[in-house]
Chains A and B, each alone.
Chain A
Amino acid sequence: MFLFILKRLVQIVPVILGVTLVVFLIMQMVPGDPAVIMAGEGASKETINELREDLGLNRPLHEQYLSYIGNVFQGDLGNSLKNNQPVMDEIMVRLPITMELAFFSIMITIVLGLIAGIISAVRPYSFSDISVMVVALIGISLPSFWLGLLLMYVFSVKLQWLPVAGWDSTAHIILPAITLGAGGAAIVARMTRSSMLEVVGQDYIRTAKAKGLKGHVIIYKHALRNALIPVITVVGLQFGSLLGGTVLVESVFAINGIGRMIVDSIRTRDIPMVQGGVLVASLVFVFVNLLVDVMYRVFNKRIDLN
């Protein structure tokens, strides 16, 4: 187990290289010169050239990349092109916000998804099953930015129960977390249902019944633990798309997280900020995947991680 975790941590190095390289190249291909954007409209050619010189943008590409990556491994993500502040500082302020949002969203995904999936699976093809699955289908189909606006309209504007936007109190977390977690919850619900239905038909469930166990013991102790194994995979994958979703949801709800930082920085061609943001998001994703693999092992000792 320890060896496995160590191996996975070493694998982070190529991930860092890959992610930074791809983002770096994409940002080079995107039209728009950061120096021009920074200098502002109507700036003279000399000012722009000077700026380019200062930022090191006139150096060859590979040199720019290598010096960047060298700094990354020393924990330096460079400075923002916009305000010359260290990217790391900016990320340290924003990361906790995004992590908080992601945490509550994934909780909604897991809790809501599992409950809905179990309700469905306990009485397949019943009214409750069909209603839950219809809601789940809608949940999967709704784009999150639209769901966010809808929730905002209903609960903040009309009912005035919750704040519209921002990130100041617990109440601020609710709508964005639902917006971000709903799609995942729907997918988890469907996965839990089909996985439970498969497990319930297994021989060992018949054994549990033949033992005279109570219905809820059969469901929660004997069926659910087995049914969860494929669900964990889905939750892990869901976390990835959830990180992507923060970009949209943070924009809709005006939350100053990493997602919004990346969007804003793309707009101003602030390459170090974009790279830093994407890198941090990737690292979070890698860690979550590691966690998922460890969870597998906890739920199913047959899986040999090495």
Chain B
Amino acid sequence: MEKEVVLEVKNLKTHFISNKGTAKAVDGIDFVLRKGETLGIVGESGCGKSMTSLSILRLIPSPPGKIVDGQVLLKGQDLVKMSDEELRKIRGNRISMIFQEPMTSLNPVIPVGEQIAEALRLHQGLSKKQAWDRSVEMIGLVGIPSPEKRAKQEPFQLSGGMRQRIMIAMALACTPEVLIADEPTTALDVTIQAQILEIMKDLQKKIGMGIIFITHDLGVVAEMCDQVGVMYAGQIVEHQEAKNLFNNPLHPYTQGLIGSLPKLYEDQEELQIIEGTVPSPYDYPEGCRFAERCPFAQDICIQKQPNLIQFDENSKVRCWKYSDEWQDSLAKEVVAP
């Protein structure tokens, strides 16, 4: 039986409008997040994954950013159309976020316990004392020793790993239905990274929230995620179950990404690379956005943009190779000379 859908994003488009033109940072994203599941969104820098996550809670810098189309449905309620006041009650309460930079994401002059407690007072109507006690409890829950003492300290007195734990405690204090984690471990060293991921998985089991996990690290995806969306140039190019992604990548871009990982049991002289660079969001090509770098590209790829097509029950891919038109295109190629 399929689990309940908590968050559904439909055709989300976030554009940045400036003198330079329109940058289509997020250009038609669809995904579904189910209760207790983790959806990974992977892609290289600048592919729009962070902007997707910020768009969900409408936290994109605006102007110049603007959500121009689409829906973000939290159990059917559209966050895009909601008033600021209604949305404010959802932020930090039903949907919360953890950011990439634990060093700068906490307010430097407010004790960390208070930074957690204020959301509790606001959303859960707890008294000052109750909120503080709960805040201390949360700090203990994310594995920080002597939480009573730490709660009174300011961020500069804590290490990077501890600050990120505080961010997690803050995000989970109100037991949200959705947690958006935007590269939460990127700025941390590997041992701390593993601890943080462990804590997140553990608390997910306790609270049962859905997690959207933004990362560029395929290793972390394998560790954390149930479903994976691979983003390229503002779009999702492949959607797979995480366990299948590594064995059976569909999109040539995903294949390239996985091919570029170092392999433990093979003797490799050099790592495989994907030739070329990501197209500018101001000026995407007419056809497939990956065509220029794709080893399989045909005429049709350059002429027309592919749709995200259902490959099998659990996977989708945005590539002409898996379409009915592909064989025709190949046939033409042979006849054409």
Q: Is B38 an interface residue (CB 8 A)?
A: no
Cross-chain contact A212 with B108 (CB below 8 angstroms):
no
Contact of A212 among B105, B122, B167 (CB under 8 A): B122
Give the docked Cα–Cα distance between A11 and B99 (Å): 46
Contacts of A217 in B (CB 8 A): 118
Contacts of A202 in B (CB 8 A): 104
Give the docked Cα–Cα distance between A270 and B154 (Å): 55
Give the docked Cα–Cα distance between A301 and B170 (Å): 22
Cross-chain contact B107 with A209 (CB below 8 angstroms):
no
Cross-chain contact A212 with B99 (CB below 8 angstroms):
no
Which residue from chain A places its CB closest to the CB of B156 in the assembled complex? A302
Cross-chain contact A210 with B110 (CB below 8 angstroms):
no
Cross-chain contact B170 with A209 (CB below 8 angstroms):
no
Cross-chain contact B154 with A212 (CB below 8 angstroms):
no
Known A-B contacts A225-B110, A302-B154; the reply to A207 vs B88 at CB < 8 A is no
Cross-chain contact B92 with A210 (CB below 8 angstroms):
yes
Residues in B21-79 with C-beta less than 8 Å from chain A: 57, 59
Contacts of B110 in A (CB 8 A): 221-222, 225
Give the docked Cα–Cα distance between A207 and B99 (Å): 8
Q: Is B128 an interface residue (CB 8 A)?
A: no
Q: Is A194 an interface residue (CB 8 A)?
A: no
Cross-chain contact A222 with B92 (CB below 8 angstroms):
no
Residues in A195-238 with C-beta less than 8 Å from chain B: 202-204, 206-214, 217, 221-222, 225-226
Residues in B112-170 with C-beta less than 8 Å from chain A: 118-119, 122-123, 154, 156, 167, 170
Cross-chain contact A226 with B170 (CB below 8 angstroms):
no
Q: Is B204 an interface residue (CB 8 A)?
A: no
Q: Is A58 an interface residue (CB 8 A)?
A: no
Name which of A203, A208, A210, A299 has the most chain B CB atoms within 10 A of its CB: A210
Contacts of A131 in B (CB 8 A): none
A-B contacts, CB under 8 A, total: 72
Known A-B contacts A301-B156, A302-B154; the reply to A210 vs B97 at CB < 8 A is yes
Give the docked Cα–Cα distance between A106 and B157 (Å): 34
Q: What string of 1s and 0s marks CB contacts (under 8 Å) between A255-295 and chain B?
A: 00000000000000000000000000000000000000000
Residues in A135-183 with C-beta less than 8 Å from chain B: none
Q: Is B93 an interface residue (CB 8 A)?
A: yes
Q: Is A300 an interface residue (CB 8 A)?
A: yes
Cross-chain contact A211 with B91 (CB below 8 angstroms):
yes
> How distant is A231 from chain B, measured CB to nearest CB, in Å?
14
Cross-chain contact B88 with A204 (CB below 8 angstroms):
no
Cross-chain contact B89 with A212 (CB below 8 angstroms):
yes
Contact of B118 among A206, A211, A299, A300 (CB under 8 A): A211
Give the docked Cα–Cα distance between A186 and B266 (Å): 69
Contacts of A208 in B (CB 8 A): 107
Cross-chain contact B122 with A222 (CB below 8 angstroms):
no
Contacts of A301 in B (CB 8 A): 109, 154, 156
Contact of B96 among A204, A210, A299 (CB under 8 A): A210
> How distant is B16 from chain A, measured CB to nearest CB, in Å?
16
Count class of interface residues, chain B: 20 to 34
Q: Is B90 an interface residue (CB 8 A)?
A: yes
Cross-chain contact A204 with B119 (CB below 8 angstroms):
no
Contacts of A206 in B (CB 8 A): 59, 99, 105
Give the docked Cα–Cα distance between A210 and B118 (Å): 12
Give the docked Cα–Cα distance between A274 and B109 (Å): 44
Give the docked Cα–Cα distance between A181 and B275 (Å): 64
Q: Is B8 an interface residue (CB 8 A)?
A: no
Cross-chain contact B92 with A211 (CB below 8 angstroms):
yes
Contact of A204 among B57, B105, B123 (CB under 8 A): B105
Q: Is B101 an interface residue (CB 8 A)?
A: yes
Cross-chain contact B108 with A203 (CB below 8 angstroms):
no
Contact of A207 among B90, B105, B156 (CB under 8 A): B105
> How distant is B84 from chain A, measured CB to nearest CB, in Å?
9
Cross-chain contact B88 with A299 (CB below 8 angstroms):
no
Cross-chain contact A300 with B109 (CB below 8 angstroms):
yes
Contacts of A211 in B (CB 8 A): 91-92, 96, 118-119, 122, 170
Contacts of B88 in A (CB 8 A): 212-214
Q: Is B106 an interface residue (CB 8 A)?
A: yes
Give the docked Cα–Cα distance between A221 and B99 (Å): 21
Give the docked Cα–Cα distance between A202 and B109 (Å): 13
> How distant is B125 from chain A, measured CB to nearest CB, in Å?
13
> How distant is B160 from chain A, measured CB to nearest CB, in Å?
14
Give the docked Cα–Cα distance between A300 and B110 (Å): 9
Give the docked Cα–Cα distance between A209 and B56 (Å): 13
Cross-chain contact B90 with A299 (CB below 8 angstroms):
no
> How distant is B96 from chain A, measured CB to nearest CB, in Å?
7
Q: Which 4 residue pairs across A and B have the least CB separation, nearest first?
A: A212-B91, A211-B92, A212-B92, A203-B104
Known: A212-B92, A225-B109. 10 other contacts (CB 8 A): A204-B104, A204-B106, A206-B59, A209-B91, A210-B92, A212-B119, A222-B110, A300-B108, A300-B109, A302-B154
**Chain A residues packing against B (C-beta within 8 Å):** 202-204, 206-214, 217, 221-222, 225-226, 299-302
A-B contact pairs, 6 of them (CB 8 A): A207-B105, A211-B92, A212-B122, A225-B109, A299-B109, A301-B154
